[in-house]
Chains A and B, each alone.
Chain A
């Protein structure tokens, strides 16, 4: 039956220490190793980057150019996200309607979708005849790959992909914040005569600023670090994270590490103050500026009009954005697999068909099978290790005073460029470092553990904070349960939904992870990495099949999460 552990105090202390130790070794160290690597090998780095005997400080100039481009891309992405994300967050937080859970799933999708597969889907949607171009009867892609958006000077397809991948961060963070604000405040404002738009401006917005800020920071960092999809759609442009992959493959390790460290430091620098600001219970933010009365009266008149007549705009426009960036590419890719199944529909050539590429001379099907088994093993093992660390870690975060600090640090592995992470793990555990494992499946497992832990922890914490676990535990303790008993019989069952969700999320994420895997995989290829290879080898139908296969797998897993949370 139940073990009644008498020395519960000693037990819990050792659990805490072991968990923290595992956390430091498996999660923190890899995240920050890159920086220490650069420090230790500063001379090497300095020479290669700034005082290269052949090209002078050309590498440094490259770094700067790439960095500025990335910043421009990410900032414009976040701005776009905010404009359309805030109304969507409001709708999701406050309204109920048929199909709402489906919408929530579609919004969440980019968080776990295999980035390379998604990048590929977006690529063919906008730039090839298999996508929108063909649908409109243009006979070719809608726009060339390297079309640039004026003013911000950012490639369109790249921009769209980044918007799709960062949108959930903004929407979900702000939605959670909106939800946490008692709706009674808004009702009170309405009873006092304010229209719903005026209420949004005066009441909801100031109270949500911490959430909006935190969501923007997360989205910005995510965009900065996005690798997998970017590898596929970047065309002639280079983002910072893509540069890392390229330089690593060219063995310019010092430059790559320097770039990687810079990105980690930047992520660290923007996240930490943001978390401190939000964490210190910053409850609201009001600009001390009082509008002149005539302006404010006109504004309120407009808000009153818009609240009555134009609310549907806010309901529908974000949906169009979500549809265009997420739904359409998935539909296109699914459709294309069918269309391209046996032959290329435009040339009629069997060689251009999916079947031929899979089972013909190139025999990609074999590679797909092998890659699948690699991916699944990696996902299972890394998720398991991550669970062992994440469950006790979640409890530590909720109970200890330093818990908030740990929770903030945990956000870093989620947003540093996956290529940085890969490089860091490679240098730490690989042949250049402690030489624990060589490149290959075990290194991939170690890499995936790093970002799986935060995913599971956040899931558990969401479930923990949603239920009043502390109260139930206190009850159980005074009824005679030891601390361990209380957790086992009361707390864990109450958060098991969170644990399961975390498991599935982490598993799915691992299946689709590209950027870091690419760097550490050696000969053991995972499915998303395979897609990248296929694209580079111009085996488009094969890439089509593999991306679809990956995406469908993720969709099924997400549906499983939905079923778990509903029960």
Chain B
């Protein structure tokens, strides 16, 4: 089994707000991230796939194909967007890095046939990242 990771970057804005919370509860839970005007990050995405090396091509997956899937399914939808208002997953869910990693996992999973998706890692800043793994996807909401 060989693991292959491809990186990409995108920039987006968001804010954290639960409509079921009072304004005080929102501020207490989310702090500065609750500013309704939003704020942004340069996100780094790492997509790791695993598989056997194809004896004919020497590839786990065709990198060009992986790049195209990442561009189409993730970057085109998220780059330079206001996540809360422009990305359907976040009309009802709070666009935390946790939920962002899960949404990216769910966007990529059905589109990657050649190798299996092992991990999605999303860096919100160099000091904070979230990982979602295949084994945790059982019963995904």
- Decide whether A and B assemble into one complex: no
